[in-house]
Amino acid sequence: MKISAIVPAHNEEGCLYGTVRAIAQMLDLEGIPHEILIVNDNSVDRTINICQELSETFPTVRYINNQPPNGFGFAVRRGLAEFDSEVFNVGGGLSNSLSLVEATDFCRKIAGKSIPVNPVLEERPGDIPIFITDSSRVMDRTGWQRVIGPEAALQDIYDWIAANEVVLSSIL
């Protein structure tokens, strides 16, 4: 089975090379057949140059340029339309999905802080009105099983941020 990793990129000159190199090296080390598809989402920095360099350095890396409309969702959809493998989604299922309200409640419980969540009634470019996912296919094909649930995953993220707060202070 070949894995396709889609990497949306908008003005990512500072981290794209290291990110893609790490993904390629890990997949190579594990002997996993793969392709890495970078979707350049109309970057205005040196992202396109880094995409070119990566595709010349790593034979499993290629890139495409996303045309407007832009945004993360559009870049992912463009990548899904262009990649070379089967589609597997390991991001959900009934036992591992959260609404924004549920995720916010878990975060409030974990961090002891709250933020208001207000609805935006108009539809905006890139909005996905509903997203339903099912992990059963990847589980059947690979034997993969989730190890932790959503609350534990959010707790792990919070713990990592707390442990790295000094390094992350400029963006927190």
Over the stretch 85-139, which tens digit does the pLDDT of each residue have? Answer: 766 655 555 566 677 778 889 999 999 998 887 777 887 776 766 656 667 777 7
Residue 54 has pLDDT above 90, yes or no: yes
User: Of 35, 49, 44, 26, whose CA–CA distance to 79 is shortest?
Assistant: 35
Nearest one of 1, 8, 5, 6 to 126, comparing CA atoms: 8
Quick check: pTM over 0.75?
Answer: no
Instruction: Please report, for the chain, the start and end positions of each structural domain, with discontinuous segments joined by +.
Output: 1-86, 88-116+130-172
Cβ atoms of 69 and 125 closer than 8 Å: yes
CATH, range 1-86: 3.90.550.10
pLDDT (average), residues 3-32 = 90
> 133 and 97 in contact (C-beta within 8 Å)?
yes
Q: What are phi and psi of 8, to 5 degrees?
A: -70, 140
